Amino acid sequence: MAGEKRKKSEKHAEAVLDALSHYVRRRIMRIALAKGHVSISPTSERPTRGSIQHFYRANKAVTRMPMVTAVLEATSDSD
């Protein structure tokens, strides 16, 4: 059971880091954090014309992840 929870947590962390890999999403995250404790979390994917479309939802728990703060502090809006 603990192993499954850890795998789920690691998968969620990877998805969050992937979501923050694009500068526009980081910029949106910074704006959302400035207005309160709001963040994004991936919910689903859909193949679209040779690429993958990603969908996100608001999630307060992600803002408490130290890696989110670290990524936002280590990058700029233009990275």
CA 5 to CA 72: how far, in whole Å? 26
What HEC string does the chain produce? CHHHHHHHHHHHHHHHHHHCCCHHHHHHHHHHHHHCCCCEEEEEEEEECCEEEEEEEECCHHHHCHHHHHHHHHCCCCC
**Averaged in consecutive runs of 10 residues, what is the pLDDT profile of the chain (79 residues)?**
72 80 84 72 86 80 75 74
**pTM for this prediction:** 0.54
Q: What pLDDT, on the 0 to 100 scale, is given for residue 72? A: 80
Q: Which residue ranges make up each domain of the chain?
A: 2-74
Structure-token pair, residue 72: 């936002």
Q: What pLDDT, on the 0 to 100 scale, is given for residue 38? A: 66
